[in-house]
Structure 1
């Protein structure tokens, strides 16, 4: 009886040890999750793999240099940000707005520069005025109708919070469709977003690229404060700095531009 009890105890301890090692192994192999919305050529899904500028930069930093595997999850932009905020994902790459800084730690160094450019429709009755705009304040003062993507933190912080009349839509294509139908006056977005939409929508003749860049903004790697990898951010900055110095970042930009 005692021998049987000892065998049972030994078997139980072996099971505990096996499970402990298995769990430890799973924790060691845990990947870092990147949440993103399609924004070609910056980041987009192709052949079941994330491609683009941001995807290559992130793989160079985390997989090549830090040995941490990445898992990319394609989401609507608002959902992508919520996933990081709630700890369901680790990283987004975007502008570190005041609101986002409540739940992320940004890389000190940017990984890309984005222009915020004005788009309207051909023959807009106030086109001459639009072409003279040079600042966000100019746009606010004009009191024109705008369209923007839900979750666009820059638009929310710079314009929506200051009373601009806007249609908020789930996707950049919706913004440009409203512009094409002349149901809004302005869209402000990056040229890369415009190009991506024009590649998929047959509305380019209905959109007027003013060539007016209101601001140049920096996209950073934003690590969620709930991520177990948060302590790596100083190392991330060291790697980005080295990629800039060596020309690796510039080579990635040229590949997609």
Structure 2
């Protein structure tokens, strides 16, 4: 685990901004106290490695603030971004010693970490943790299936709209805000990162974002501050016939 140039912060569990969605969401007061005893916080600068594929993982944890990428490297050196880690997402796998992917901070990243062995012991004694982790794992499986559809069948415009809808919905849910009507959020990815993640060129990403802006689907202030005047209209651009993509 890369721990150089990181600073340590601390937040009480009851004040945590991801408390209602993280792996501890179902925990009672005594269970939170047990987690407090084995947790620690770390922050990473944008571009800093959290863990390398194949490294021993002595921790698991949740993203509190910021965003990270999951990347896989092929034998010939080519890399592919295979996932995004947004606030409340869980990093690591109990019972697995080695990291399956490279995890890299895309923005300033804060993680609530748990020492892996004590966390695994807590899972045995605390069913609420295991139940919530199972829910999150099933949500992740649904998200992976949705992403297969996005990469394989959607147009460039639908891909961009889907990614914006995913980020907008997650941001709204974390803030306990509405997921309909007007939604405002800061885009945590550069256009280069969006292109890599969606399998598009940088030029295509820029062109499609400009088209969505021109058509009034989104409003941009600078390159990152996004206003969605009508979230249902954005969902209509995703090509989906239900709620626009991955679970929140």
Q: TM-score, normalised by structure 2?
A: 0.29
Q: TM-score, normalised by structure 1?
A: 0.28
Larger radius of gyration, structure 1 or 2? 1
Instruction: Name the structure with the higher helix share.
Output: 1
- Relative contact order (alpha carbons < 8 A, sep ≥ 6): 1 or 2 greater? 1
